[in-house]
Amino acid sequence: MSFSFVSNDDAATRQAAASCLAALSRGGQSTEPVPLTPWQTIEASARVLETDAAANRAWVVRGRAVHGAAPMASAWPLWFRRDAARYERPLVCLCRIPSVAGMRGLAAQLRQRGVLCNEAAAWREGSTLERHAELPLWLADNLDYVPYDLACADEARAILAGALQDMYGRGSRRFYYLSAHDRPTRPRSPLDPARASDAVRGMYLARAAPAGSAVAHVRLLAAGTVLHAALRAARLLWRGWRIGAEVWSCPSYTRLAREARLASWHELLHPDEPMEASHLVRCLARGCGPVIAATAYPRRIAEQIGAHVCGPFMALGSDSTAIGPRDDPLSSRALALAAIKVLQDAGR
């Protein structure tokens, strides 16, 4: 049961969303000497929405105390605030929820949409591999959610803004789930507007293949913290074997797979209409070589796109078999060896 005690003033909601987006844009890039992590970026954006006078038209719910802010364990008190607006406000929730039950409980209090920002380490809490896998697999199968696994601060900014625009600017009724890790990352060139837009759609080119003659080519797709291992793997492949590797960041394999599946169905049901390729197909059409898709979630999350990839394909996840008993199946060495194995199996 969800609580909704606001009017359906869509124009006011769109105006509130525009104010929030303008405030986030004014916030701009971080001036910190050390790049922010995705979670720190989410926290900083939430503080902008809480403190910016023009953006004071959003609700920020915190499931724990952050930088002295008082935690609000539940979202429903928002509907009873004395100063509550008579329209739906954009909602951003910062939480640490490890289970499907917890996510369902939070969503039941909301008005069928909102940005749910979860700490990336939360889904790993539990005693068994099956428990670890429960939340990400449920999110992939639940069409009410669009899940993302953020790799860097720029992705966090772009996808948070894209989510607010989609839900409160264009009126979509769904939840955006942003998994944000708190690990330091190496500074990278900022995302330009085109790549930021591609990030919201599910993938963008993080590193082009090296210039020069290569004996073979591969495409490395990665999400979240695994992106940084993929970038290192691309350097290993070039230096050690002269294999050119494109690296693509894929914040949402699930969004890519859903869009590609809809495009396939549309082509089947409307053969006389011009075909419009999905974002996944358009991105992969630019390069050549086998595709290796990696995720820190269970392998099935990356496997979602396999049906829409032409040519050799391999998916790797936290449940993949390691090279050795003490090896990480998602290390840069493991990704590089996986690329070589796929090329070998393809006879290249």
Domains of the chain: 10-180 (3.40.50.970), 202-345 (3.40.50.920)
- pLDDT for 325 equals 64
Flag residues of the chain having pLDDT under 50. 1-7, 65-73, 80, 127-128
- pLDDT for 67 equals 45
What is the distance between the alpha carbons of residues 146 and 150, in angstroms, rounded to a whole number?
Answer: 13
Q: What angle do CA 22, 28, 34 make, to 5 degrees?
A: 155
- pLDDT for 324 equals 66
Distance of CA 27 to the CA centre of its chain: 21
- pLDDT for 50 equals 87
Question: Which candidate, 227, 223, 247, places its Cα nearest to that of 295?
Answer: 223
What is the distance between the alpha carbons of residues 313 and 306, in angstroms, rounded to a whole number?
Answer: 7
- pLDDT for 72 equals 46
Q: What are φ and ψ of residue 44, in 5° steps?
A: -65, -40
Tokens 């329209």 found at: 87
- pLDDT for 70 equals 44
- pLDDT for 250 equals 98
- pLDDT for 28 equals 62
- pLDDT for 127 equals 45
- pLDDT for 140 equals 96
In the chain the first and final C-alpha atoms are separated, in Å, by 56
- pLDDT for 58 equals 86
